[in-house]
A = this chain, B = another copy of it.
Amino acid sequence: MIKNYTGQTAISKTLEELKDKDINRVFYVACGGSSALTYSSKYIIERDSKILAAEVYNSNEFIYRSPATLDEKSLVVVISHLGNTPETTAAAEFARDKGATTVAFTYENESPLAKASDFRIDYQYGPQVNPADSRNILIIQLTLGLLKIKEGHHKYDALVSSLPGLQYTVDKAIEKYTEKSIDFATKYQNEKMIYTMASGSNFGVAYTFAICILMEAQWINSHAIHAGEFFHGPFEVVDKDTPFVLLLGLDETRYMEERAQKFLNKYGEKLFILDAKDFDLSKIDIAIEGEIASVLHLYVLRALSREFAKVRNHPLETRRYMHKVEY
Residues of A whose CB lies within 8 Å of any CB of B are 25, 31-35, 43, 46-50, 53, 55, 58-61, 64-69, 85, 87, 192-193, 199-200, 210-212, 215-217, 219-224, 226, 228-229, 231-238, 242, 252-253, 255-256, 259, 262-263, 267, 319-322, 327
- A228 and B321 within 8 A (CB): no
Q: Are A252 and B65 in contact (CB under 8 A)?
A: yes
**Minimum Cβ distance to chain B for residue A262 (Å):** 8
Tally of this chain's copies:
2
- Contact partners of A66 in chain B: CB under 8 A: 47, 252
- Given the interface pairs A64-B256, A65-B252, the reply to whether A320 lies near B236 with Cβ below 8 Å is yes
User: Given A211-B234, A221-B223, A236-B320, is A53 in contact with B69 using a C-beta cutoff of 8 Å?
Assistant: yes
- Given the complex of chains A and B, what is the CA–CA distance between A222 and B69 in angstroms? 34
User: Which residues of B lie under 8 Å from residue A215 when comparing CB positions?
Assistant: 233-234, 236-237
Among B49, B224, B327, the residue within 8 A (CB) of A263 is B327
Min CB distance A64 to B, Å, is: 4
Task: Verify B60–A256 contact, CB threshold 8 A.
Answer: yes
Contact across chains for B327 and A231 when beta carbons are under 8 A apart: yes
Q: What residue of chain B has the Cβ atom nearest to residue A231's Cβ?
A: B327
